[in-house]
């Protein structure tokens, strides 16, 4: 058995069974309650029309009692659905009323209408079936619907029908309509829950962005602290403070040393890589006596937030193994590659039944599901009683430049998919009508013409279904399809045997499929007139050829009610599509934003590590020596070292280099220049993460050679880099008196990727280094 958690599930999905539901599922419940309430009020009106048409038979109070009670309950049911919503208590009352109506049908319906065709009792049982399908699980509604049909068939067979089959045929719609409704409702509920899950995921991504932002703020605060203390202390000594030899300078240096040590050992575990973070989690588990086997493949290039989330989840999973598995052993397998991270925690303990416990009871919600969801990952727990338990943690890299998902475009695509699905169902319905037609050809005067009309309308339906894949049907297509079905109805009704109801039954049900398809494939301003025309044509044919007396009202009421139910349900798919589109667009946008934040956070973390490495290697020893009195801050050599260290730290804070091999390659030359007393200012515009290795080496060598010629007397020394990937330019400019005295500096010769342009002279250093693919260097 598998229980999905994290971004793939794990939420309470009780739906109609109670409990918390998301906004889309709740909205679907409100819309369905209103739809069922309106349908019930319409059914009450149909019932009243039947009573008026058969007023002579219903003159007795005993015969009028059940219709009156059913109508009053129907009004109460409809009003409550419209005002307060449909709950299980109301549905249970509806179920009981349905059983009463089905059992008392022979005393509330004229005998001639019980077995010959539809009547108001069947109309009422169809509505009850829809209600209990919506409110109860199949284990409840399916036996209830079968009970309606069985009870109705039994009493009708006993009183008014010569055979059980003849008694059961009119009740077929009591089973067919709820079954079709259940299939559509299941899809609608799954779609609404999926929308809610996507929205919840989007909220989780937003929370993840908040965590990343908080960590960025932490980095910014530490940088501000370094600037306000360490950098200012170095700068003050370099410029020659008034009390350079006094106690206050030594005290400030000791304070700066303390700040550096705090930053270097500040417990920011989230900056560690995946290997280090997992190692810490494994050490903690082993310290409790759990034996853990560990394997790791791939690189450790994982965003710090992801590494921290995975390590937290692994730690909690191992803690669960120790507490619940019954075995003191587990195995952790980790794999990273350019697509993402995959980690599994496996134990062969007692196992468990996933559906028996909620995620929060297993202790995985807060420490496994939420951390992985915060960074856009997922967690899966698989287990069986007596079998292994496997916790799988997965995180996939997402491109921050992924194309945006437009709500309108996605909704249009979902509308085409819905029209295609309903169109396929309409074609199946048309084929079923063809089978019935073949079996009942003897009831028609000219069966060939009727079959031809059926085939033509079916072919038009297939063509329209294919056309709907490209977008909503246009007016001429809707008019043509409607016209063909009208011709089919007229042919079947006019060519039927006189006095037979079989052709009339076929006429009434023939339009259900096409009406459902038109509701899904075109806007309301088109499908409403088309559906009304098909219903009016069927009603007119039945009214002119029906020979059953006043029972025609109930006969038509059931069929029109069924058509209203079908089109109402299909029409309710529209809001679901809009909700799905909005939720999908929201999660796509949140994923892209989180991916961009993780990329930026990784860069910031790399830069911070580089700065802390400099503090550890250069600044901390220098400040510690001054603070302890081993170095004199007034000495020129110490002041020069402080100036150089301050320049390096300032450049690191203003021009991050981590993540770019080109910028990192320039660091030795920049440090060497600053140690000679040359203050270098860096200006960077562009991205250099993917500069080819050969080009990078040539550019670094050329810039290093130029910087090596700059003398300490130079001022306004500036290195400017512009470009993207395989094409760019570097400029070195300075005011250097040595250029006027000794002529232009010695610059490297052009290479395969680079071209050097030297315009130095008259005390001005100006060297340009361009790089581009070798085949374009000559034309650069």
| Backbone dihedral region for residue 470 (phi beyond 0: left; psi -120 to 50: alpha; all else: beta) | alpha
Q: Which domain holds residue 766?
A: 660-780
Q: How far is CA 395 from the centre of its chain?
A: 15
Rounded Cα gap, residues 181 and 562, in angstroms: 11
Assign 385 to helix, strand or coil. Answer: coil
Give per-residue pLDDT as tens, 152-193: 888 776 766 555 555 565 667 788 778 877 877 777 777 777
Query: Of 11-20, 23-32, 195-204, 342-351, which range is least confident?
Result: 11-20
Q: Does residue 658 surpass a pLDDT of 60?
A: no
d(CA 694, CA 570) in angstroms, rounded, equals: 63
The answer to the question of residue 751 being in a domain is yes
> 735 lies in a domain?
yes
Question: Which of the pair, 589 or 19, is modelled with greater confidence?
Answer: 589
Distance (Å, rounded) from C-alpha 570 to C-alpha 515? 10
Half-sphere exposure of 378 (CA within 13 A, CB side): 14
Phi, psi angles (nearest 5°) of residue 45: -65, -45
Phi-psi region of 342 (alpha: psi -120 to 50; beta: other; left: phi over 0): beta
Residue 747 within any structural domain of the chain: yes
Judge whether 734 lies within some domain.
yes
CATH number of the domain where residue 670 is located? 3.30.565.10
HEC assignment per residue over 92-152: HHHHHHHHHHHHCHHHCCCHHHHCCCCCHHHHHHHHHHHHHHHHCCHHHHHHHHHHHHHHH
What is the Cα–Cα distance from 617 to 605, expressed in whole angstroms? 18
Given a cut of 50, whether residue 70 has pLDDT beyond it is yes
Secondary element (H or E) of residue 365:
none
Q: Closest Cα partner for 464 from 501, 427, 414?
A: 427
Please tell me the total number of residues recorded for the chain in this structure: 780
- pLDDT per residue as tens digits for the range 459-506: 888 898 888 878 788 888 888 888 888 888 888 888 877 766 667 777
How many structural domains is the chain composed of?
1
447 within 8 A of 549, measured Cβ to Cβ = no
Measured CA angle at 93 (ends 87, 99), to 5 deg = 135
221, part of any domain: no
Nearest-angstrom CA–CA distance, 777 and 570: 65
User: How far apart are alpha carbons 413 and 469 in whole angstroms?
Assistant: 9
Question: Residue 465 domain-assigned?
Answer: no
For residue 12, report the phi and psi dihedrals to the nearest 5 degrees.
-70, 115
One DSSP character per residue, 459-515 reads HHHHHHHHHGGGSSPPHHHHHHHHHHHHHHHHHHHHTBPTT-SHHHHHHHHHTHHHH
**Gap between the Cα atoms of 491 and 626, Å rounded:** 107
Q: What is the pLDDT of residue 356?
A: 55
Question: Looking at the domain assignment, is residue 477 inside a domain?
Answer: no
Output the pLDDT for position 15: 42
What is the DSSP track for 595-661? Answer: HHHHHHHHHHHHHHHHHHHHIIIIIHHHHHHHHTTSS-TTSHHHHHHHHHHHHHHHHHHHS--TT-H
Per-residue pLDDT tens digits for 119-131? 788 888 888 998 9
| 485, part of any domain | no
């Amino acid at each position: 058995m598998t229980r999905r958690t994290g971004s793939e599930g794990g939420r309470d999905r009780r739906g109609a069974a109670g409990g918390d539901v998301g906004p889309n599922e709740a909205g679907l419940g409100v819309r369905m309650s209103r739809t069922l309430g309106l349908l019930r009020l319409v059914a009450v009106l149909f019932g009243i029309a039947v009573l008026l048409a058969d007023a002579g038979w219903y003159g007795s109070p005993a015969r009028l009692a059940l219709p009156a009670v059913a109508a009053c309950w129907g009004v109460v049911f409809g009003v409550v659905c419209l005002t307060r919503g449909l709950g299980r208590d109301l549905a249970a009352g509806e179920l009981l009323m349905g059983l009463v109506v089905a059992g008392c049908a022979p005393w509330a319906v004229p005998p001639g209408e019980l077995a010959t065709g539809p009547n108001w009792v069947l109309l009422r049982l169809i509505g009850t079936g829809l209600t209990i399908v919506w409110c109860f699980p199949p284990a409840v509604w399916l036996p209830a619907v079968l009970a309606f049909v069985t009870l109705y068939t039994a009493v009708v067979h006993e009183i008014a029908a010569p055979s059980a089959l003849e008694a059961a045929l009119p009740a077929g719609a009591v089973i067919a309509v709820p079954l079709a409704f259940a299939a559509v409702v299941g899809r609608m509920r799954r779609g609404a829950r999926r929308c809610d899950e996507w929205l919840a995921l989007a909220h989780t991504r937003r929370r993840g962005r908040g965590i990343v932002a908080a960590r960025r703020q932490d980095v910014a605060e530490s940088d501000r602290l370094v600037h306000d203390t360490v950098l200012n202390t170095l700068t003050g000594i370099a410029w020659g403070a008034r009390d350079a030899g006094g106690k206050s300078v030594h005290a400030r240096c000791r304070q700066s040393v303390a700040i550096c040590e705090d930053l270097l050992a500040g417990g920011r575990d989230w900056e560690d890589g995946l290997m280090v973070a997992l190692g810490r989690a494994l050490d903690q588990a082993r310290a409790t006596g759990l034996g853990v086997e560990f394997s790791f493949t791939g690189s450790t290039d994982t965003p710090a937030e992801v590494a921290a989330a995975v390590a937290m989840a692994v730690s909690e999973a191992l803690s669960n193994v120790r507490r619940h598995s019954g075995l003191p052993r587990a195995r952790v397998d980790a794999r990273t590659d350019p697509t993402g991270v995959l980690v599994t925690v496996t134990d062969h303990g007692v196992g468990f039944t996933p559906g028996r416990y909620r995620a929060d009871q297993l202790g995985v919600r807060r420490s496994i599901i939420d951390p992985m969801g915060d960074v856009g990952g997922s967690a899966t727990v698989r287990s069986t009683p007596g079998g292994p338990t496997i916790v799988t943690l997965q995180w996939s890299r997402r491109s921050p430049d992924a194309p945006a998902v437009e709500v309108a475009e996605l909704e249009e695509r979902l509308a085409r998919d819905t029209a295609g699905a309903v169109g396929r169902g309409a074609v199946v319905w048309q084929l079923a009508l063809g089978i019935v037609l073949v079996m009942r050809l003897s009831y028609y005067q000219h069966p060939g013409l009727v079959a031809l009309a059926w085939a033509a309308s079916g072919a038009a339906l297939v063509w329209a279904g294919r056309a709907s894949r490209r977008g909503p049907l246009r007016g001429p297509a809707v008019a043509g399809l409607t016209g063909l079905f009208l011709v089919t109805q007229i042919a079947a009704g006019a060519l039927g045997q006189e006095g037979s109801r079989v052709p009339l039954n076929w006429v009434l049900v023939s339009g259900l499929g096409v009406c459902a398809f038109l509701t899904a494939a075109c806007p309301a301003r088109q499908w409403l007139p088309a559906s009304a025309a098909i219903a009016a044509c069927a009603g007119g044919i039945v009214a002119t050829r029906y020979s059953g007396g006043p029972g025609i009202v109930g006969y038509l009421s059931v069929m029109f009610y069924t058509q209203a139910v079908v089109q109402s349900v299909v029409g309710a798919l529209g809001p679901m599509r809009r909700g799905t589109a909005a939720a999908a667009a929201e999660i796509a946008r949140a994923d892209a934003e989180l991916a961009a934040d993780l990329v930026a956070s990784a860069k910031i973390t790399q830069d911070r590590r580089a700065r802390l490495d400099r503090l550890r290697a250069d600044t901390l020893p220098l400040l510690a020596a001054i603070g302890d009195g081993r170095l004199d801050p007034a000495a020129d050599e110490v002041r020069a070292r402080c100036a150089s260290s301050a320049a390096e730290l300032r450049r690191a804070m203003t021009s991050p280099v981590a993540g770019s091999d080109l910028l990192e390659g320039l660091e030795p030359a920049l440090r060497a220049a600053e140690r000679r007393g040359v203050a270098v200012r860096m200006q960077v515009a562009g991205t250099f993460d993917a500069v080819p290795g050969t080009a990078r080496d040539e550019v670094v060598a050329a810039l290093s050679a130029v910087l090596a010629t700059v003398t300490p007397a130079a001022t306004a020394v500036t290195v400017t880099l512009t470009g993207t990937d395989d094409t760019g330019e570097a400029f070195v400019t300075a005011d250097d008196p040595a250029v006027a005295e000794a002529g232009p500096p010695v610059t490297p010769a052009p290479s395969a990727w680079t071209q050097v342009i030297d315009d130095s002279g008259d005390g001005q250093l100006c060297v340009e280094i361009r790089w581009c693919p070798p085949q374009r260097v000559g034309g650069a």
